[in-house]
Amino acid sequence: MAFDWFWKAMGSSPTKNQKKSRAVVAQAGADRFAQATDEELRDHARSTIANAWPKASSGQRDAEDFDAPQPSVKDASALLAVLREAARRTLSMSPFDVQMQGTLRLLHGDVVEMATGEGKTLTGAMAACGYALQGKRVHVITVNSYLAGRDDKWMGPMFDFFGLTHGAIHEDLTSEERRDIYNRDIVFGAINELGFDVLRDQLITRNEDAVRADADVAVIDEADSVMVDEALVPLVLAGSEPGPAPAGRITDLVKSMEEGEHFHVSDDQRNVFLTDKGAAFVEKELGIDSLYGTSELDATTGSAAAVEQGAEAKPGDTLVQVNVALHAEHLLTRDVHYIVREGKVALIDGSRGRVADLQRWPDGLQAAVEAKEGLAVTDGGRILDQITIQALVGMYPEVCGMTGTAIAASDQLRQFYDLFVSVIEPNVPTKRFDEADRVYVSAEERNRAVIEHIVEVQRTGQPQLVGTQDVAESEELAEALAEAGVDCNVLNAKNHEAEAGVIAEAGRPGSVTVSTQMAGRGTDIKLGGADEAEHDQVVEAGGLHVVGVGRYRSARLDNQLRGRAGRQGDPGSSVFFVSLEDDVVAIGGAGEELQAKPEEDGLLPQKKVLQFVDHCQRVTEGQMLDIHATTWKYNKLIKDQRDIINERRQKLLTTDAAWEDLSYHDVDKANELKNRGIEQAVLEQAAREVMLFHLDSAWSDHLAYLDDIRESIHLRAIARESPIDEFHRMSIAAFKDLAESAVEKARETFSEVEIDEDGAHLEGLGLHKPSATWTYMVNDNPLSSGGGSVVGSIAQMFR
């Protein structure tokens, strides 16, 4: 695109919007409506809106209208002044000018970058109000349900002031309660909760059973975390049906295999490869001829036809199971990638370092890890429908958001969401001092230095927040600190409310809090404790000190941690302790050489070492972006197909199209039913259910098929064909027949099924809907580099 350079420049240049925003905000002076009565204030609000109930605009914006005011807002500064005054009256907070700028940019559909503690909740709520006053329904998307409830309550009085209805969605609501809340003006909810409702609404056979009502705008908190880090996490709706066979004996077998001899692990820790010796070992132990099997080998090198035959194109089940079991055994580590809790494997969310309650791994990996831990293997079920968070966000005509670290994600936000970033200056300039990294040769030397450092700093009375890479590391560190005489709180994030409490108290003098990543931890650390009782004492000591143990895979995550110090102009400082053995350095710097002489304690003070660490992080950032782009290509196609199905589904739900078609194709049956005096409405609903049943099961089959070809497609990569093109070709071919064959089947069913006053009796033909459904998030396998499937690495085995 010719304008690429331009968008790039705009996406990362904060200055242009800021000048205009400041001018608009300047006219929205804090006392502009101070004298107005409540009623007058509401009148002012109404008069700032050009035309209530406008149609939401969508699509790409032109360069020219980038700074144009929202077409439905006549007077942006008056609107801001009204919002500001309303917040002051109802919430006892006087929004700062910078918050008003944030609100303005949100109303323009930007992602705003505001540092921690700048008051993003209020900023976002004022924007939600501004949108709702225009007659648009707003979803305020929070990081978790706890925050959705908290913010709805906290900001509620301001919405009430304008007569706007609002509420929060959470997991414990009934369908009726959800339906009621979704119909309100402003709805708070966690992204996964909102997504699960999208999926569940996809199963209904009566339009009035839908719980959701479409929203016009999404205001997304922690926007980078949701739209970038979790973008490709699929939300899944599954129904009861036996899952994949567990690895069983293979688990034990794999435990006895030796690294280097039977298999080796790739440098980037993403893949395990079976050696010839390893394959021979498995064959001998299991008493099978060939792990690879001849027909499967053919498929990997053979023609497209071989793959299209379906099942045969997949490598042998045993091979897949061995591979998956090796992954589970050697690449997934307990307390790093998952924990075992109450007899279950609970995944740890890679980007947040916390337990991801609803997540599962794909492709039998979950079962393999359960087998490895000797736990009951759970049923994966049949996938009825799924949607990625990126596709979910794409459903909103207008999107905006806020986060502490947007600039570093601006490329992704541009590329995947067509969103711009606006940087909002802090209310009071930051005084945080960020020290240069301290890089050590080994992790052991680094850890020793970290402990010494924390002990030393504690003597000064500065509170410390220590960021680690994973749960295991945080627990080891806490133990080592205890030995060194330092008591600390460890954030294990099992309960968001308790967590908020720990964080709120983390600013007390001399306190040490060890945590995994800070993204989405929704409370800020106040110096001197939540009540700020010992504020001055802590300021005197230098404010909050952040210690990073190892750099994260993106600078954005580092900055989320750093950003906890120095809020609202508080003093504060940060330093990262890195070792050359850290993942970021080992993976990002794989194959590169670094020559530098360490000091006695292992410290590498050379400037080039610091540059090398930065370089390694940029490499890992690039890898993640590549993975995102590739994986999205697969998901985009599925999303487009899903949209088509959805449209058709909607038509069947809201019209008599099903009856029209089916009665036309079996006139005799239709006449017979009518002659029996069955009501027209019942007949239409029966026809609808027949059509929807076959459409839904065709879609579910299609998803399973796509999964299969996505796996086998990797095998074809060796034949030097472009996997994504191949995937497109095959999935489009399969999709073309989907609707038609579903209709065919529906016509057959219609002719056979018994229909009476109670409707169609599908179960009489053995056509069962799943008796139970449940939802979960798939943790797209963090290890595979390509299409997100563990089977990807099998391609390598055939070299």
* Greatest Cα-to-Cα distance within the chain, rounded to the nearest angstrom: 96
Residue with smaller CB distance to ligand ADP, 224 or 524: 524
CB of 151 to ligand ADP, least distance (A): 8
Residue closest to 779 by CA, chosen among 179, 449, 266, 327? 327
CB of 567 to ligand ADP, least distance (A): 7
Residue with smaller CB distance to ligand ADP, 102 or 509: 102
Is 672 labelled as part of a ligand binding site? no
**523 to 435, 456, 556, 602, 727: CA distances (angstroms):** 25, 27, 18, 37, 44
Which residue of 120, 139, 382, 628 would you call a contact of ligand ADP, by CB under 6 A?
A: 120
Which residue of 17, 121, 144, 192 would you call a contact of ligand ADP, by CB under 6 A?
A: 121
Which residue of 11, 117, 529, 759 would you call a contact of ligand ADP, by CB under 6 A?
A: 117
Supply the DSSP symbol for 350. Answer: T
122 binds ligand ADP (CB under 6 A): yes
96-115 residues in contact with ligand ADP (CB under 6 A) are: 96, 99, 114
**What binding mask, one character per residue, do residues 507-526 give for ligand ADP by CB under 6 A, x or -?**
-----------------x--
505 binds ligand ADP (CB under 6 A): no
Is 318 labelled as part of a ligand binding site? no
Of all residues in the shown chain, the one whose CB is closest to ligand ADP is 119
Is 165 labelled as part of a ligand binding site? no
Q: Is 546 helix (H, G, I), strand (E, B) or coil?
A: strand
Which residue of 14, 95, 167, 543 would you call a contact of ligand ADP, by CB under 6 A?
A: 95
Residue with smaller CB distance to ligand ADP, 405 or 712: 405
Which residue of 103, 116, 405, 749 would you call a contact of ligand ADP, by CB under 6 A?
A: 116
Q: In what order do the strands lie in the sheet with 354-356?
A: 338-341, 344-349, 354-356
Is 757 labelled as part of a ligand binding site? no
Residue with smaller CB distance to ligand ADP, 44 or 120: 120
- Amino acid at site 571: P
Is 180 labelled as part of a ligand binding site? no
Which residue of 36, 50, 93, 539 would you call a contact of ligand ADP, by CB under 6 A?
A: 93
Is 120 labelled as part of a ligand binding site? yes
- Amino acid at site 254: V
Q: At what angle do helices 145-161 and 76-91 cross, to 10 degrees?
A: 110
Which residues make Cβ contacts (< 8 Å) with residue 98, sequence separation at least 6? 114, 118, 424, 425, 426, 427
Of 89-97, 626-634, 660-668, 721-729, the segment contacting ligand ADP by CB under 6 A is: 89-97
Which residues make Cβ contacts (< 8 Å) with residue 730, sequence separation at least 6? 307, 308, 709, 713
Residue closest to 396 by CA, chosen among 127, 138, 159, 174? 138
d(CA 192, CA 778): 11
Residue closest to 726 by CA, chosen among 644, 634, 795? 634
94 binds ligand ADP (CB under 6 A): yes
Residue with smaller CB distance to ligand ADP, 566 or 788: 566
523-562 residues in contact with ligand ADP (CB under 6 A) are: 524
CB of 497 to ligand ADP, least distance (A): 15
Residue with smaller CB distance to ligand ADP, 321 or 405: 405
User: What string of DSSP letters covers 251-286?
Assistant: HHHHHTPPBTTTEEE-TTSS-EEE-HHHHHHHHHHH
Which residues make Cβ contacts (< 8 Å) with residue 611, sequence separation at least 6? none
Is 117 labelled as part of a ligand binding site? yes
119 binds ligand ADP (CB under 6 A): yes
Task: Check if the beta carbon of residue 529 is closer than 8 Å to that of residue 454.
Answer: no
Of 88-96, 292-300, 584-592, 608-616, the segment contacting ligand ADP by CB under 6 A is: 88-96
Phi/psi for 219 (5° steps) reads -105, 110
CB of 156 to ligand ADP, least distance (A): 14
* Pairing mode, strands 464-467 and 438-440: unpaired
Q: Give the residue ranges of the annotated binding site for ATP.
A: 99, 117-121, 524
Enumerate binding residues for ligand ADP (CB under 6 A): 93-96, 99, 114, 116-122, 524
